[in-house]
Amino acid sequence: MRFWPLAQIARIPCSLLIASLTLAGLALPVQSESLVLTPDNFKDTIAHGYWFIEHFSPYCGHCRDFAPTWNKLVDDYAPTQVHLAQVNCAVNGDLCSENGVQGYPHMNIYHDGKYLDQFKGIRSREHLDEFLAKHASSVLAAATSAQAPPPSEAAKADVKVHEEPPVDVNPNGQVLKLTPANFANVVQEGGVFVKFFAPWCGHCKKLAPTWVKLAKEMQNKLTIAEVDCEDHKALCREQGINGFPMLFFYAPGGTKTEYTGNRKLEPLRKWSEKTIKPSVQELVPADLEAVIAEHPVLYLFIHQPGDSHLIDVVSRAARPLLGSPPVYTAGSAALSGRLSIPSLTLPALIALKDHDSHPTSVFRFSATTSQAELSEWLLNNRLPTAMELGDGSFQEVMNAPTKPLVVLTAVPDEGAERERLIKSVKEVALAWRHRGDAHRNAGDRRVVFVWMDADRWSKWLKNMYGIEGSGRVIITDHSKLLYYDRDPSGEQIQLEVNSVLAALDGAMKGKGAKHSENIVERLTRYLNGRMIAIEEWIKSHRALTLLIIALGAVLAFFGVRKILADDDAQYYNHAPGKQGRLD
């Protein structure tokens, strides 16, 4: 595993520094005259009367854009019996979760402590007034004409407010049809769950009604879409679709995450809900040890007060993670002395693994840092040093974007021997992690240590790696369907530090690799790959392909013509009366 070098952040030009300070200022909460509620007083406060509550985050751009409209609303409704208040979700995340908050700003109306409705749609003053009048007409009827701002004044306020485009996500609760004409724009905007299917596919037909129900369930929350790969083959090839159906969530910017879970409605709905939850959480410093103990992997963004604007950058980059692993943010002063970091230049994003306060990797921000670079780092460091390999983790480990080498140990399904082997796997994994950069080359692959149930997966382990029973250790390069079962000296790999580390050194150099497939399977895969390559070449060189076909047709025409001409010549040369007697 590579460690990021501890280097000083590049000197930032004055223009960029000014821009950064400006953004930092914008990232701070906008002051409001409305009451800010907490878990301690929320229920008691809203217990009587009508309460319109805005749930917001100080780091949310849409919340900052909406703040002037909200402040004007607070002032105009102050004399009425409709009360307005706020909840800061960056500080009170649990309360926001209890109130069903899945995006910002999120506004609910309550009456005598009971939830009535959520405001949805364009956050204009006109729509807000209509919403409040609908639910609190009994107390607003007499005051509306006196308290509502004059039309001209409301119009002026609207001119000053930079409102987001009228993005009413999945307004009708229907599946969105994607084509090459709209695909790029939709996925770039993000927040879309896409099904790639073929009409003739049996599994696709079975999923179709569930997908329609999911779209209804996620109305006003998440866009549910689909692509017909029979009609749009080129688009599906571009997206790497090699089977049907395939399901992908696209985060803003087009970064995608494949869904490989159960295709029933409830698992799909729960997974969809995860995609719209806030991707970054504020860490209470006192909870640091408990958070590290709870999560095998987590990210922590440590910043100084002037770096608050970067929280938005981290939040956008973390969306493809879908909360796994979680991303926390905290100020440097609050974490002083709580982390084992000898020298850290801030701001920095650190990866903590294996319930250890020593970072396994550090991402340092500079003037040239891009969101794509940050997203890649987050995806590359999301796996723990050691974990169980099974149904739920196979895809993210064996088909990870980093194409890691996987040290796999077969273990029994239960008993003391299983626990002993798992403990040994973790010890060897930590030894590899603590080995440090000094023993690794720049091009070395990432390494993940796993254990696998030798009873449940016995057939697969035998077919792929020749493993029978428990206790065997191999190193697999699944991206190339290769594996290693011996160290460079030819000895079988043992579940011991020296044996595994030596075998990893050999695997990094490709020494002693064996194929996971037999010769027939390899030949079939090779021929299939060649056919796909030819097909792609033809699609990329259409004009040249047509020229070759035309040239081939011309050559074939003249070739056939010459053969026929030769046959005619031979016929006439042997015609009756043209040759001498044979006797």
- According to the model, what pLDDT value does residue 439 have? 56
Does domain 387-512 bear CATH number 3.40.30.10? yes
- According to the model, what pLDDT value does residue 390 have? 87
DSSP string covering 483-512, please? EE-B-TTSPBP-SSHHHHHHHHHHHHTTTT
- H or E element that contains 331: strand 327-331
Residues written for the chain: 583
Please, what's the b/e burial string for 49-66 (b: 16 or more CB within 10 A of its CB; e: otherwise)? Answer: ebbbbbbbbbbbbbbbbb
Q: Looking at domain 281-381, which CATH architecture does it have?
A: 3-Layer(aba) Sandwich (3.40)
Looking up tokens 């701002």, which residue turns up? 149
Q: Which residues contact 208 (CB under 8 A, 6 or more apart)?
A: 197
Domains 281-381 and 387-512 share a fold: yes
Please count the CA atoms within 13 angstroms of the CA of 150 that sit on its side-chain side.
Answer: 3
CB atoms within 10 A of CB 466: 13
Does domain 176-276 bear CATH number 3.20.20.70? no
- According to the model, what pLDDT value does residue 166 have? 42
Distance CA 387, CA 449 (A): 7
Distance CA 340, CA 338 (A): 7
- According to the model, what pLDDT value does residue 23 have? 38
Domain residue ranges in the chain: 35-139, 176-276, 281-381, 387-512
Q: Is 509 exposed, middle or buried (0-12, 13-18, 19+ CB in 10 A)?
A: exposed
Mean pLDDT for each 10-residue chunk of the chain (583 residues)?
40 42 40 75 91 86 82 85 89 86 89 91 82 81 43 34 50 92 86 94 94 93 93 91 91 79 90 83 86 92 77 82 86 69 76 88 83 84 90 82 90 93 93 70 78 93 91 92 91 93 90 82 72 75 86 87 71 56 50
Token output for 494 = 């043992």
- According to the model, what pLDDT value does residue 410 have? 95
- According to the model, what pLDDT value does residue 368 have? 80
Nearest C-alpha neighbor of 361 from the set 1, 115, 33, 92: 1
CATH number of 35-139: 3.40.30.10
Sign of CA dihedral 126, 130, 136, 138: positive
